[in-house]
Amino acid sequence: MSERTLKIALPAISVCLFLVGWSFYVRTAEVSAFVLPPPEAILVALIEMVQTRELWDHALVTVTEAVSGFLIAVGLGISLGFIMARIPPVEWAAKPFIVLLQLIPKIALAPLFILWFGFGLESKIVIAAALAFFPVFSNALQAFKSVEPGDKDVFTILQANPVQRFYLLDVPSALPVILTGTEVAVVLAMIGAIVGEFIGGNEGLGYLAVAHLQNLAVPELFAVIVILAMVGLLLYTLIGRLRQSFSAWHVSSETA
Amino acid sequence: MPFDARQDRMEINVSGLTKVFGDGPSAVTAIKDADLTMERGEFVSLLGPSGCGKTTLLRIVAGLESPTEGTVEIRGNAVWNGTRRSAAATRPVSMMFQEARLFPWFTVVENVALPLRIAGVGRKERLERATAICETVGLKEFLHHRPNALSGGMRQRASLARALVTEPQLLLLDEPFGALDAMTRDALNIELMDVCARANVTTILVTHSISEAAFLSDRVVVLAPRPARITAMIDMPFDRPRGLELQQSMAFQKMVGELRQKLSEGE
C-alpha cells in the first residue's frame, strides 16, 4: 500500500477501533449508561438532535457570540499591536496592564462580565473577545516590531507616506504571524462563549449542555460536545485555510 | 575649468561630514570630517575595508542616517536640516542594497513597479513602464514570478530594475553585487555601467573590491578605518565604453596595484 493510502486508511482504522473498544467496554464492564453511554447511543441522540430546530438556534447563538468576540479581538489586537509597535512609549505605559491581564486566568473574569453586561449575548461576546484578544495582540505587536529594517529603508528611499507604508509593507510583512495568532484566538473565542453560557443565560450550546446534564440526559450531553467540536473544527479550518493562502504570498494586489 | 561652469554641473557636495554613534566612552566614530564633491554623470566608488565608514557615508547621502556634523547637498538642496531629512532634496535618489530587498507578497513586475505606485502613477502606466525596464535587464520571462523563485543574480537584476524605474538622477549602490558569484557580478557590472552612461546618472558605489572600483569608476575614494576617514581620491583615466578586456591591460593592473598600496597605507 502506498504512503498516501496509509495516511488516509490508518486514522480511519484507529478511530473505528477506538469506538468499537469503547462500546465493548461499556457493555462488558457494566458501566452505568448515566456515566458513560456507548457511542451508538450518542449517535442516536445526535441524529435526533440535528433534526430539531432548537439545536440549530442554540448553535447559531454560540457561533454568533464566538465569531463576534473573535472579530472584536482581531480588530483591537491588530490596532493596539500596531500602535504600540509604532509608538514605543505607548507600549511602555501599557506594559503593567498587559502583564497583569496576561497573568489573570481570564476565565475567572467571566462571572464579572456577566454581572456587568447581563445574561444576554453581550456578556458572552465580551468573554470570547477577552480570551481571544491576547494571542492576536501579542503576535501583532511582535510582527509589526519585526518588520525588517532593510525593508523600511527601501520605503524611506521611495518616500512612501505612512498610509502606503502601512498597507504595502507593515501589513503584508506581519500578516503570516498575525494569522497564526488568530488560529489560536478562534479556539479561545469558542471556549469563552461556551463558558459564558455555562454561567448564565438560557441559550447557546453551552447552556444546552448544562440543561442536558441537569436532566441527566447523558447521551445528549455527549452529542452537544460532539457538535461543539465540529463547530470549533469548522472555524479553525476556515482560519487555517485563510492563513495558508496568505502565507503562500498569494496576497497580491495587482494580479488578484 | 572656470569655477562657475563647475558649480553649474555640481551634483553632490559633502562637506565636513562626521557621524558618531552612541555617546560617552562607548561612542564610535563611523566617519570623520569627510569632504566629497561630484559632478553630474560621474561614477564614484567608495573603497575601503569594513569599519571605514563607507556605508555610513552613503546612508547619510541617501537620507537614511542623520549626520552628527557637516552638510550634504544634492543639486544645492541640503539633505539634512539637523536630524530632519528633506524629502525634496532626496527625491531624485534611488538606492540598491546588498540584499535585493524584494517583497515576497508582490510579483517581480509589481516589485519593480512599486516606486511608481508609491509616487502615484496609475496602474496601467506603471506596469507598462516596469515591464519595459524588466525586459532591458533580462527579466522578460520572470515578470509574474514570485521573487523567492528567482536566483540571487535574477533578484539583483529585479532590484536594479526597481532602482531605475523612476529614472533617478542619483544612484546609490551599497555593495549591490557583493553576494553574487564572479561571473554574474561581471555581467551585472557591465549592464550597470551601460545604464548609468546612457541615462547620465550620477552614481556612488560602496565596495570592498579593488578591481570592481577601478573598473566601474571615474574616481575612486579610498577610506581607512580607525579613525574612519577619507585617505585618497584617485581618477581612473580609462576610456569609455569599457569592456572586461580592460581588466587584462597593464594600465589597469598598475592602477589596481596603486589602489592596493593606498589601502594598505591607511591601515
What does each of the 256 residues of chain A score in pLDDT, given as a tens digit?
788 899 999 999 999 999 999 999 988 888 887 888 999 999 999 999 999 999 999 999 999 999 999 999 999 999 999 999 999 999 999 989 988 988 888 888 899 999 999 999 999 999 999 999 999 999 999 999 999 999 999 999 999 999 999 999 999 999 989 999 999 999 999 999 999 999 988 899 999 999 999 998 999 999 999 999 999 999 999 998 888 877 665 443 333 3
In a domain, B238, yes or no: yes
For residue A6, the enclosing domain spans 1-31
Provide the pLDDT for residue B114: 97
Residue B110 to residue A253, Cβ atoms within 8 A? yes
Question: β-strand B219-224 against B43-47: which pairing, if any?
Answer: parallel
> Which CATH number belongs to the domain containing residue B256 in this structure?
3.40.50.300
Nearest residue of chain B to residue A158 (CA atoms): B115
Q: Chain A residues with CB inside 8 Å of B123's CB?
A: 254
Please provide the size of chain A in residues.
256
Asked whether B130 and B109 are in contact (CB, 8 A), the reply is yes
- Residue B95 pairs with which residues in a beta bridge? B172
For residue B237, the enclosing domain spans 3-92+168-266
Nearest to B91 among A156, A159, A172 (CB): A159
Nearest to B64 among A156, A252, A255 (CB): A156
Provide the pLDDT for residue B54: 92
In a domain, B126, yes or no: yes
In a domain, B193, yes or no: yes
Query: Same structural domain for residues A59 and A25?
Result: no
Query: Same structural domain for residues B16 and B58?
Result: yes
Query: Same structural domain for residues B115 and B220?
Result: no
H helices present in chain B, as ranges: 3-8, 54-62, 87-90, 108-118, 123-136, 152-164, 182-199, 210-216, 250-266
Provide the pLDDT for residue B11: 87
Residue A255 to residue B144, Cβ atoms within 8 A? yes
Q: Is A249 on the interface with B (CB under 8 A)?
A: yes
Q: Chain A residues with CB inside 8 Å of B156's CB?
A: none
Query: Same structural domain for residues B70 and B190?
Result: yes
Query: Same structural domain for residues A42 and A27?
Result: no
- Residue B29 pairs with which residues in a beta bridge? B20
Query: Same structural domain for residues A86 and A147?
Result: yes
- Residue B221 pairs with which residues in a beta bridge? B46, B233
Number of structural domains, chain B? 2
Q: Is B88 on the interface with A (CB under 8 A)?
A: no
Whether B10 shows a pLDDT value over 80: the answer reads no
Q: Chain B residues with CB inside 8 Å of A158's CB?
A: 114-115, 118-119
State pLDDT tens for residues B109-128.
Answer: 999 999 999 999 999 999 99
In a domain, A255, yes or no: no
Query: Same structural domain for residues A237 and A209?
Result: yes
Number of structural domains, chain A? 2
Residue A172 to residue B118, Cβ atoms within 8 A? no
Query: Same structural domain for residues B68 and B180?
Result: yes
Query: Same structural domain for residues B44 and B129?
Result: no
pTM metric for this prediction = 0.83
Query: Same structural domain for residues A24 and A44?
Result: no
Residue B95 to residue A157, Cβ atoms within 8 A? yes
Nearest to B101 among A151, A159, A254 (CB): A151
Residue B96 backbone class (left: φ over 0; alpha: ψ -120 to 50; beta: rest)? beta
Q: Nearest CA of chain A to the CA of B32: how many Å?
A: 23
Q: In this structure, which amino acid lies at residue A118?
A: G
Query: Same structural domain for residues B81 and B189?
Result: yes
How many beta-carbon pairs under 8 angstroms link A with B? 60
Question: β-strand B28-39 against B10-21: which pairing, if any?
Answer: antiparallel
